Amino acid sequence: MPTEELDTTEALPTRAAHAGSLKKGTIGVFGAAVMAIALITPLTTLSSNMAESLILGVGPATVVVTLLVTLLLTFFAAGYSALGRVVVDSGAYAAYAAYGLGHKVGSAVGVAAVLGYNLATVAFIGIGGYFLDNTIKPHGLDLPWWIYSLAILALVAVLGVLGVNIASRFNTIICGLQFVMLAIFFLAVLFKSPSNFKLDVFSFSGVSGGAFGLTVVFVLLALAGFESSSAYGEEVRDPHRTIPRATYVTLLLLSGIFVVGTWVVVAASHGDPRAVAGGDPGDLVPALFGSYLGEWTSTATNFIIAVTIIGAALAFHNLSTRYMYSSSRSGILFSALSRTHPRYKTPHVAVMAQVLITLVFLLPFVLTGSSPMTDLLPAIAGYNALNMITKMGSTSASTIVATSKGKLTGSKYSTIYAPLLAIVGFIATGVLIVLHYKEITGTEALWVNAMPLMIVACALFGALKQWQIDRDVFAQRRVVESP
């Protein structure tokens, strides 16, 4: 029997000899949704991605583009949730892709996801230190940003070992702070400038080609991670129901926040965000907070933004360790990464590995005196934009193929039509990302703009490693079957 005939259509199996198990029944729908919401940090995202779209993209029409992107992600969520009802794995994207497209594709997607989530963790720990420095420095304590980043990394590592239930509680507090600040601001604008809320933000009249492409990228990145609750499938209660529900709850809640929030920002700026920001998107939301709530809010807002970034760093750290754990358990990465803590049942070796990765990637920026905001974050954001398209597109294709093989049941909408529409949308979005890649990264540096090649390198490594595993399994079978 040739190697190609091996059954590689199931989700990634366990192959590591000493793989541990994660703690079951730790969180429910609310906890899983909180971890996904913390990943996106609504207040910070409104102050960055959405503000950048208002200044550099289509302006007030960002509101209607957000609705379009939400529709695309709803198509994706339909197929993604259908897979979530039959596949439970901490390396969600890898297992979902493998279920329909085979182990080689699943391993390729998994390794790319491991690098993407690790780089995102590095970025948020770096900019978390940057924002804490900006918050504390005006009050007399002037320390390098990396001192704060080391403190954040230590906190993230401790919470990572203690477990997702502790992390979820921590992030619940952080999410609460964000929603309180946003609600106060929204109400202030509504009562002070009710006549500024115009329905023309829902019109396409202000949408043009290049600006539209840039805005789609900004909004897509703003919502990236809404589906991340699936990585906790092995730790939630009743995962086959919890994960699909958490996915939809997170998408609809965050989309609603960004649609309403962007509309409020447009109203607060009297329909002209560019004039208020003075060309700098980062100044838009803080300036409006100060205008409507008083200058005293600037320090509080900066501090809460810093804290939300810490929450995002924790959420990405947890995703990184779960994907490392899953890839290790299936034999792709080092076997030690699949070991779990004897008491907390968390992937503690992967936690330490993630800490080491963060230190290694941050060190060059520390030694060269580079800024995590202007140098580190843009490079990683560009990579993860294309990485996300690759993961989502592969998962949607897997849904269709698994359905055609009779391995997945459900309505034709959720298993065929919606995933197909999602694939078309992701291809179009991928083209837009490539066309505007230098604008996303904000640099002409070749090494930054060549980073997407790492997706190809990671995918090849994962696929080749899986091919080697399949070959070894086939050889072992032949030895057993031989007389």
User: CATH code at 152?
Assistant: 1.20.1740.10
Asked, for residue 204, whether it belongs to a domain, the answer is yes
User: Position of tokens 């800490």?
Assistant: 355
Are 383 and 454 in contact, with CB atoms under 8 Å apart?
yes
pLDDT at 210: 64
How many beta carbons lie within 10 A of that of residue 117, not counting itself? 28
pLDDT at 6: 36
Instruction: Output the CA torsion sign for 10, 14, 16, 20.
Output: positive
Are 90 and 322 in contact, with CB atoms under 8 Å apart?
yes
Asked, for residue 121, whether it belongs to a domain, the answer is yes
pLDDT at 352: 95
- Residue 38's domain spans which residues? 24-466
Are 357 and 118 in contact, with CB atoms under 8 Å apart?
yes
pLDDT at 206: 65
pLDDT at 267: 95
Asked, for residue 334, whether it belongs to a domain, the answer is yes
Under DSSP, is residue 236 helix (H, G, I), strand (E, B) or coil?
A: strand
Asked, for residue 2, whether it belongs to a domain, the answer is no
Asked, for residue 235, whether it belongs to a domain, the answer is yes
Q: pLDDT by residue for the chain (483 residues), tens digit each? A: 333 333 333 555 555 545 445 444 454 555 555 656 666 778 878 887 888 888 888 889 999 999 999 999 999 999 988 998 888 776 678 888 999 999 999 999 999 989 988 998 998 899 889 888 878 888 888 899 999 999 999 999 998 888 766 766 776 777 778 888 889 999 999 999 999 999 989 988 767 666 787 788 888 878 877 776 665 655 556 556 677 777 888 888 889 999 999 999 999 999 889 888 776 676 788 789 888 988 777 677 778 878 888 888 888 898 899 889 888 888 898 888 989 888 888 889 999 999 999 999 899 889 988 888 777 877 787 788 888 899 999 999 999 999 999 999 889 999 999 999 999 999 998 888 888 788 777 778 787 888 889 999 999 999 999 999 988 887 777 766 665
Contacts of 4 (CB under 8 A, 6+ apart): none
Query: What is the rounded CA–CA span in Å between residue 413 and residue 406?
Result: 16
pLDDT at 90: 63
- This prediction has a pTM of 0.81
Asked, for residue 249, whether it belongs to a domain, the answer is yes
What is the DSSP track for 397-460?
A: HHHHHHHHTTS--S-HIIIIIHHHHHHHHHHHHHHHHHHTHHHHHT---HHHHTTTHHHHHHHH
Asked, for residue 258, whether it belongs to a domain, the answer is yes
pLDDT at 179: 83
Asked, for residue 254, whether it belongs to a domain, the answer is yes
pLDDT at 9: 39
Count the domains in the chain: 1
